[in-house]
Structure 1
Amino acid sequence: MPLIGDPVVPEPVTEQVEDVEAVLPPIPVEVPPHVQEVHPPARRSIRERRPAISSDYEVYLGESDYDVGHIVDPVTFKIAVSGHQNDLWWDAMKDEMESMRLNKVWELVELPEGCRPIGSKWVFKTKKDSKDKVERFKARLVAKGFTQREGIDYHETFSPVSSKDSFRVIMALVAHYDLGLHQMDVKTTFLNDDLAEEVYMVQPEGFKSGHSEQLVCKLNKSLYGLKQASKQWYLKFDEIVTSFGFEENKVDCCIYLKISGSRFIFLILYVDDILLASSDLALLHECKQFLSKHFDMKDLGEASFVLGIEIIRDRSHYTLSLSQKAYIERILERFSMLGCKHGDVPVLKDDRLSLSQCPKNDIERERMKDIPYASAVGSLMYAQVCTRPDIAFAVGLLGRYQSNPGPNH
């Protein structure tokens, strides 16, 4: 892999411009004329080779994907309860179990003959704010959905989320029409959905019932990690909000609009994060009350930080800025690039990557160990899709080389 040059140290974006897709055209591969050799060359396909970034490429952001800080969270239950922050993690797990109890997620039963329970696991996450400060400790009970069997434990699975293009369009409307912009968080997203299939799960580690350890959890509601969890949550949410008068966008199914006379309100859904943009504060609060009535919601007030993106508003000048400064500083730290130099253009149009730029000695190879190529490109790609379309050409160049390393790209 070629060495990654000094990237641009980003500044907060002050104006939003149209996204630039780093979609690369297919690379045709021609079959060389037949040449007789003692050892015939490997057969090469005459089909078109597709680039890594396809035309329908879309980033689906997991909760931990944008928070790549230096804090190392526990990866197992034993590590969490034996570390110096064990009290904090125990409290977080108790909160999660209380949510399970209140939502009646499961009931303890004898495992029916012929059935196989799926496993469960604790996932720990240190939540941070836009200033990179620790906000809270979160423990989530996750089902080991990878052991589910299609047609038995689930039938269909999908996870629609609003696109970054839609997000930027709504932000432009918010700035232009001076809309009120608030944020809400669904505390127990997947616990709101009834489960159609019969699914059994082993009892959570550390919280097994003393007198009934042989029993298993018969899931009444969806749980994080189940293959059908995202689908069930989306269908439930769509049913509820459409009953309130919201209409789903035909292009982006996670964008909703409600019009009431001369008033209107947009709702943007990204799994468990909800943005509300309204021309009328009374309608906005009415919508908040409706959502809180049907789901366990956390009102975060005026939106300032969502999905790792900081929202900076100056309502007196009708401006709105989107910045990923904290995120980009964390990925620079992660890939040992905090000391890199500033530059107006990260790569020139005629620049090419080639095998000649790959590490040639032990020193260069040792340096590249600190920069996993695919992870670095993926991190840059998320920044490009969200707020930095100006680096689309450079990221596309890196992605193209990654998909097909060759003599000259």
Structure 2
Amino acid sequence: MCVSRFDETVFPFHKISSSPSLNQPPVHSQSSNPAWLSTLLYFHPCSVPSILGAPPCSNTTPDTLVPHIPVSMPSTALARKKQVLLTTTAPDYLHTEPPSFAIARHIPQWHDAMASEFAALQRQSTWSLVPPSPDQHVIGCHWVFKLKRNPDGSVARYKARLVAKGNHQMPGIDFDETFSPVVKPATVRLMLSIAAQHQWSLRQLDVSNAFLHGSLKECVYMRQPPGFVDTASPSHVCFLHKSIYGLRQAPRAWFEKFSSHLLTIGFIASQADPSLFSHCGTRK
């Protein structure tokens, strides 16, 4: 059994009258302040009574103010520093690709690369200039620059490629089918294993400007290349006869061109992998 020590019939403070001093805030002496309050008072500009109920202290201004004087560099020294910074951070576009045609056209090596690419496109009769008409959907083009390097990292040649803005093409107007098969990794491993088993020699080839050999079935109109606008017909547009890089149907056009040529010379397409062609015959 538990008995409470509280007696409900006895109230020792019942007869004590309330004192007016109870309504007043208690007065604490400065010596009885706890340690944490003394720490606060040490950093606070007010005194102890002001925190415990006394009127707030007035803000006082220091007798002396230290003015803030900005330190600036002379204009000549600042200009010299900017010039040195620009000189050290300016990229060398003879050893890196320029980001735009506006920069590349002022560099002879890149300008020659663009001229060489434009001449190759002209030799292949990639397009013909036609007057524009309202029913044409004309897309833009831009130059893309690439450095070809030797195995030791030195620059081998400067390559400029004219790329169409395929993101401006519209389906059903200037492109239809875009799918182009890619060789399967299992096909490559199988071919290598068979060649190793029979001790066959392997050869590979790289078709220069492969996408430029594909023929187009759609009517594609493109603006003239930047920097190579025909002075006699500056407002004319390029009616593309062959594919160029950047077109949505460029990979498919190249595959159709290459596969049709292999079939005409006796190769047989595999039904398991459309990218695999075999030729069973005498060596020529």
Give the TM bin, normalised by the shorter chain. Answer: 0.5 to 0.7
Asked if 1:231 is matched to 2:252, the reply is yes
Q: Higher strand share goes to which structure?
A: 1
Contact 1:99 1:188 in 2 (8 A): no
- Residue 111 of structure 1 deviates from its aligned partner by 0.9
Q: Distance in 2 between matches of 1:76 and 1:228?
A: 25
Residues 315-354 of structure 1 show CA distances to partners (whole Å, capped at 9, x for unaligned) of xxxxxxxxxxxxxxxxxxxxxxxxxxxxxxxxxxxxxxxx
Asked if 1:170 is matched to 2:194, the reply is no
Q: Which residue of 2 aligns with 1:80?
A: 104
Matched residue count: 190
Match of 2:129 among 75, 100, 108: 108
**Structure 1 residues 98 and 131: CA distance shift in structure 2, 3 A:** same
Q: Which residue of 1 aligns with 2:264?
A: 243
Q: Which residue of 1 aligns with 2:234?
A: 213
TM-score normalised according to structure 1 size: 0.44
Asked if 1:145 is matched to 2:166, the reply is yes
Question: SS in structure 2 opposite 1:89?
Answer: helix
Q: Distance in 2 between matches of 1:95 and 1:169?
A: 40
CA RMSD of aligned residues (A): 1.8
**Structure 1 residues 166 and 202: CA distance shift in structure 2, 3 A:** same
Question: SS in structure 2 opposite 1:123?
Answer: strand
Residues 18-49 of structure 1 show CA distances to partners (whole Å, capped at 9, x for unaligned) of xxxxxxxxxxxxxxxxxxxxxxxxxxxxxxxx
Asked if 1:259 is matched to 2:280, the reply is yes
- Residue 137 of structure 1 deviates from its aligned partner by 1.9
After TM superposition, the structure 1 = structure 2 runs for residues 11-160 of structure 1, keeping only pairs within 5 Å, are: 72-82=96-106, 86-160=107-181
**Structure 1 residues 196 and 75: CA distance shift in structure 2, 3 A:** same
| Rg larger for | 2
- Residue 139 of structure 1 deviates from its aligned partner by 1.0
Residues 288-330 of structure 1 show CA distances to partners (whole Å, capped at 9, x for unaligned) of xxxxxxxxxxxxxxxxxxxxxxxxxxxxxxxxxxxxxxxxxxx
* Matching residue's letter, 1:96: E
Q: Which residue of 1 aligns with 2:205?
A: 184
Q: Distance in 2 between matches of 1:165 and 1:257?
A: 16
Q: Distance in 2 between matches of 1:134 and 1:174?
A: 35
Contact 1:117 1:202 in 2 (8 A): yes
Q: Distance in 1 between matches of 2:179 and 2:252?
A: 5
- Residue 123 of structure 1 deviates from its aligned partner by 0.9
Greater RCO between the two (CA within 8 Å, min separation 6)?
1
Question: SS in structure 2 opposite 1:175?
Answer: helix
Percent identity (aligned) = 38
Q: Distance in 1 between matches of 2:205 and 2:236?
A: 37
Question: SS in structure 2 opposite 1:124?
Answer: strand
Contact 1:96 1:140 in 2 (8 A): yes
**Structure 1 residues 202 and 88: CA distance shift in structure 2, 3 A:** same
Which structure 1 residue ranges, 5 or more long, are not aligned? 1-70, 262-282, 287-409
Question: SS in structure 2 opposite 1:136?
Answer: strand
Q: Distance in 1 between matches of 2:281 and 2:190?
A: 21
* Matching residue's letter, 2:128: E
**Structure 1 residues 118 and 254: CA distance shift in structure 2, 3 A:** same
